[in-house]
Amino acid sequence: MIYLDNNATTAMDPSVITAIAQELSRGPANPSSQHSIGRAANERLDDAVLRIGKCLSSDLSVPGGARLILTSGGTESNNLALAGLGLPDSPLIVSAIEHASVLAFAKAAEKAGRQVHLVPATPAGTINVAALHETLERFHSCTAVVSVMSANNETGIVQPIDEVARLCRSAGALLHVDATQSIGKLPATIDDIPADAITITPHKFHGPAGIGALWLASGVKVRPSLFGGEQQLLTRPGTLPVALAVGLARALELAVDNMLVTGQRLVELRNRFESKLSDGCNDLLIHGANENRLPGTTCASFRGTDRQSMLMALDMAGVACSSGSACSSGSSPPSHVLIAMGCPTWAIQSAIRFGSSRFSTIDDIDQAADCICRIYNRLRS
Ligand code: PLP
């Protein structure tokens, strides 16, 4: 099987598996326990957290400074940020192309009485910055919470976070950035993502699923969404998974160390893939082809086909890809991202997402492109 669904999740790097296995084999590890075994686990957890901070150029050892809250993944980090930043009734401003974990939260919050504003996207696939500006002007008198992703999970289009951050700062709004898709792929120091809170999700960069993090800038507070023990200064109670935190740290170190080389290689693979698809498929539309995109992401529409038939035929032929974000029901609803970009119906109906990773090879790309063109031409006829 050729795996081109790396925006959904990635294979764990062997050295991450080794680091997790070594940590698991040490025996019981509850870092909140007072005995020496617990204290030793806590030291290893602290070490993992500091290493994660180092990768982000954020010193997490300073009391009262920036913090990292460990969670179960991107969905929980996003929910924690949106529920807990600012005041309980702070207006919530999110872009129309956010992940379901942001949009569904916003919908539920609106139903519960909170003011929610959806900022439209441009046809180029970015948040409409002028519309964000207008919305922020309206809420100048109260602290709004803004949530914008750093790169879109379906199109890979990189969002203008600098501009968004500048607008938020001058409006006195708090900014949460869902950096799930860009961390580990694009530079991710705190200077690169000037936000109050950042979501990190290691299963997108060859780390483990089941753990994520919410980075908080110095002085930024979040109210807890869960209640229980006193772990993580009461912000997110629950026994901490030391082995997964060690895996997160290792995966991030590897991603940061390899970022330049991997990024260049993935752009070359993507160019090769897209030019093969364009040669072999008439009426192909590559979304954001001229935009700044994540190195390994291609979102393309195949006119004259529907995405479900393409996906099933590709799966049977040995190519794993997707029609947008992975959905728990296994169905493929039309992409809200392409709808927000104003794409024509045929393009929404026939959109497929391909995502490569540092484990993808030229052979994978060539074979997948041949297979896609063959299946497209067969289905179309
Ligand atoms: N945000 C974005 C942009 C994503 O792509 C995803 C996962 O696809 C998530 C959040 C949710 O992350 P998780 O699967 O770790 O809950």
31 ligand 1 Cβ < 6 A: no
Task: Specify whether the CB–CB gap between 142 and 93 falls below 8 A.
Answer: no
Which one of the listed residues 55, 327, 343, 373 is annotated catalytic? Answer: 327
* DSSP-derived secondary structure for 85-132: SS-TT--EEEETT--HHHHHHHHHHHHTT--EEEEPBPTTSSB-HHHH
- The pLDDT of 351-377, averaged and rounded, is 98
Verify that 304 and 319 share a domain, yes or no. Answer: yes
Residues 209 and 163 in one domain: yes
CATH code (residue 186): 3.40.640.10
Domain hosting residue 105, numbered range: 15-257
β pairing state of 92-95 and 2-3 = unpaired
Per-residue pLDDT tens digits for 104-126: 999 999 999 999 999 999 999 99
Q: How far is Cα of residue 370 from the mean position of the Cα atoms in its chain?
A: 29
Please indicate whether residue 150, judged by its CB atom, sits closer than 6 Å to ligand 1: no
- For the cut 80, the answer to whether the pLDDT of residue 324 exceeds it is no
Residues 273 and 233 in one domain: no
Residue with CA closest to ligand 1 atom 12: 74
CA of 154 to the centre of ligand 1 (A): 11
Distance between Cα 104 and ligand 1 center (Å): 13
**What CA–CA distance (Å, rounded) separates 166 from 150?**
14
Domain boundary among 214, 233, 257: 257
pLDDT, tens digit, 9 for 90 and up, residues 221-241? 999 999 999 999 899 999 999
235 and 279 together in one domain:
no
DSSP 8-state secondary structure symbol assigned to residue 175: E
The pLDDT-based confidence of 139 (bands split at 50, 70, 90) is confident
Which of 208, 228, 257 is the last residue before a domain boundary? 257
Mean pLDDT of the chain: 96
Instruction: Give the C-alpha separation, 281 to 23, whole Å.
Output: 49
Domain check: are 204 and 343 in the same one?
no
The region that residue 360 occupies, defined by phi over 0 for left and psi between -120 and 50 for alpha, beta otherwise, is beta
For the CA of 201, the nearest atom of ligand 1: 15
Q: Which of 226, 242, 257 is the last residue of a domain?
A: 257
Are 291 and 233 part of one and the same domain? no
Cβ–ligand 1 contact at 154 (below 6 Å) = no
Q: Are residues 103 and 85 in the same domain?
A: yes
Q: Are residues 19 and 122 in the same domain?
A: yes
As for how many domains the chain has, the answer is: 2
Tell me which residue has its CA closest to atom 13 in ligand 1.
74
Q: What is the pLDDT of residue 326?
A: 61
What number of CA atoms fall less than 13 Å from residue 108's CA on the CB side?
Answer: 9
* Rounded Cα distance, 282 and 304, in Å: 10
* Same-domain check for residues 226 and 179: yes
Q: Judge whether 327 counts as a catalytic residue.
A: yes
Report the pLDDT averaged over residues 150-171: 97
Asked if 156 and 230 sit in the same domain, the reply is yes
Which of 180, 186, 198, 353 to mutate to test ligand 1, by most ligand atoms within 8 A of the CB atom? 180
Domain of residue 267, CATH code:
3.90.1150.10
* Residue 328: Cβ-neighbour burial (10 angstroms; 0-12, 13-18, 19+): exposed
